[in-house]
Structure 1
Amino acid sequence: MGIFLSKTKTLEHSSESASSSTYTLHKHGSPRTSEFRVFFKKDGIPISPFHDIPLHADMEKQIFNMVVEVPRWTNAKYEISRSDVINPIHQDGEKTGPPRYVKNRFPHHGYIWNYGALPQTWEDPHYVDKDTNARGDDDPIDAVDISQHISYTGEVQQVKVLGILGLIDGGETDWKLIVIDVRDRRAAELHDIDDVDRLMPGYLTATREWFRLYKVPDGHGQNEFAFGGQYRNREFALRIIHECSEAWERLITGNTEPGDVDRTNTTLESSPFRVDPGKLHFPEGEDLPPAPLPKHVEEWFFLPSRDNPGQD
Structure 2
Amino acid sequence: MRALLPLLSVGRGWRVGAAARPPRRVMSLYRTEERGLPHSSDYRLFFKNVAGHYISPFHDIPLKVDLKKENIIPRKKARNDEYKIATEEPLNPIKQDEKNGKLRYIPNIFPHKGYIWNYGALPQTWEDPHQKDKSTNCYGDNDPVDVCEIGSKVLSCGDVIHVKILGVLALIDEGATDWKIIAINVNDPEAEKFHDIDDVKKFKPGYLEATLNWLRLYKVPDGKPENKFAFNGEFRNKAFALEVVNSAHECWKAMLMKKRDRGTINCTNVHVCDSPFHCTPEEARSLVESIPTPSMSKISDMEEDRWYFLN
1:124-157 C-alpha deviation (Å, 9 max, x unpaired): 0001111111110000000010000100111101
Count matched residues.
280
Q: Pick from 21, 35, 42 the counterpart of residue 49 of structure 2.
A: 42
Seq. identity, %: 45
Does the CA contact (< 8 Å) of 2:105 and 2:303 recur in 1? Answer: no
1:90-101 to 2 correspondences below 5 Å: 90-94=95-99, 97-101=101-105
Q: Pick from 260, 284, 306 the counterpart of residue 299 of structure 1.
A: 306
**Residue type at the aligned position of 1:300:** W
Secondary structure of 2:75's aligned partner: strand
**2:209 is matched with which residue?**
205
Alpha-carbon RMSD: 2.0
1:224-255 C-alpha deviation (Å, 9 max, x unpaired): 00100000000000000000000000000111
**1:248 is matched with which residue?**
252
Q: Pick from 123, 130, 149 the counterpart of residue 127 of structure 2.
A: 123
How far off is 1:70 after superposition? Answer: 2.8
Q: Distance in 2 between matches of 1:70 and 1:132?
A: 29
**1:4 is matched with which residue?**
none
Alpha-carbon spacing, 1:74–1:145, altered in 2? closer, same or farther (3 Å): farther
Q: Distance in 2 between matches of 1:293 and 1:144?
A: 28
Secondary structure of 2:242's aligned partner: helix
TM-score normalised by the chain length of structure 1: 0.85
Does the CA contact (< 8 Å) of 1:74 and 1:111 recur in 2? Answer: no
**2:183 is matched with which residue?**
179
Does the CA contact (< 8 Å) of 1:31 and 1:289 recur in 2? Answer: no
Show structure 1 runs of 4+ deviating over 4 A: 283-286, 288-293
1:19-58 to 2 correspondences below 5 Å: 22-43=29-50, 44-58=52-66
Does the CA contact (< 8 Å) of 1:31 and 1:290 recur in 2? Answer: no
Does the CA contact (< 8 Å) of 1:74 and 1:109 recur in 2? Answer: no
Does the CA contact (< 8 Å) of 1:70 and 1:111 recur in 2? Answer: no
Q: Pick from 70, 79, 92 the counterpart of residue 76 of structure 2.
A: 70
Does the CA contact (< 8 Å) of 1:122 and 1:140 recur in 2? Answer: yes
**Residue type at the aligned position of 2:64:** H
